[in-house]
A = this chain, B = another copy of it.
Amino acid sequence: MSEYKLHCFAESGNAYKVALMLELTGQDWQPLFVDFFHGQTRGDAWRSEVNEQGEVPVLEHGGNTLTQSALILEYLAQQTGQFGPQSEAERRESWRWMLFDNHKFTSYYATLRFLYGLKKTGETDVTTFFRERATAAYRVVDQHLSQTPFMIGGRLTIADLSLAGYVFMPEDTGMQLADFTHIEAWKARIQATPGWKHPYELMPRGPAA
């Protein structure tokens, strides 16, 4: 039995944040497939037995059950001594960007990609709304990355792994990603990290695939 068990599915960029951290730090881990597309996380059993917040990822380790990707990333940085902040100032900077990620960067983009790229709703007032918000969030991160190779401290950290949750997802979202040149260069730097894998290589895919 692996040391770490991650409840996840390949289409979840929030799960990918954790899966990539486990992989890059060389942990003994295994994915446990969650059938999100058939409503598993919305069921009473999931909410009462696994995660009352009704979400993936969920990480099991040493008798602990952890949820929320940013909190799990912080936990794994502490456990492994890798990719974490190295000072109180860096700790605050990493939380500042992980919060921006949860509130806007991942949140708006992931919803757009779910509707437009996976559910294939076509262009609607809702996808237009989310694309505008995602674009504004991308501009903030692109501007930040115009001045630094990674989000904090000049090296890969959990702040990058959080923001990178959905940026490698292949589905079309109608956004012109090539316009965000600094984000594209940062993606290439992350992909060049030894051990990097694509989300669809790291976690099991559901029947939707």
Contacts and interface: CB of A to CB of B under 8 A. Distances in A.
Interface in A129-175: 129, 136, 140, 143-144
Given A125-B125, A126-B125, A100 B144 contact: no
Nearest to A74: B95
B144 A68 contact: no
Contact of A71 (B47, B53, B96, B126): B96
Interface size class of A (residues with CB under 8 A): 20 to 34
> How many subunits of this chain does the assembly comprise?
2
A164 B143 CA distance: 32
A92 interface: yes
A38 interface: no
A190 interface: no
Nearest to A115: B129
Contact of A100 (B53, B75, B140): B53
A87 interface: no
Interface in A38-81: 47, 52-54, 66-68, 70-71, 74-75
Contacts of A120: none
Interface of A: 47, 52-54, 66-68, 70-71, 74-75, 92, 95-96, 99-100, 102-103, 107, 124-126, 129, 136, 140, 143-144
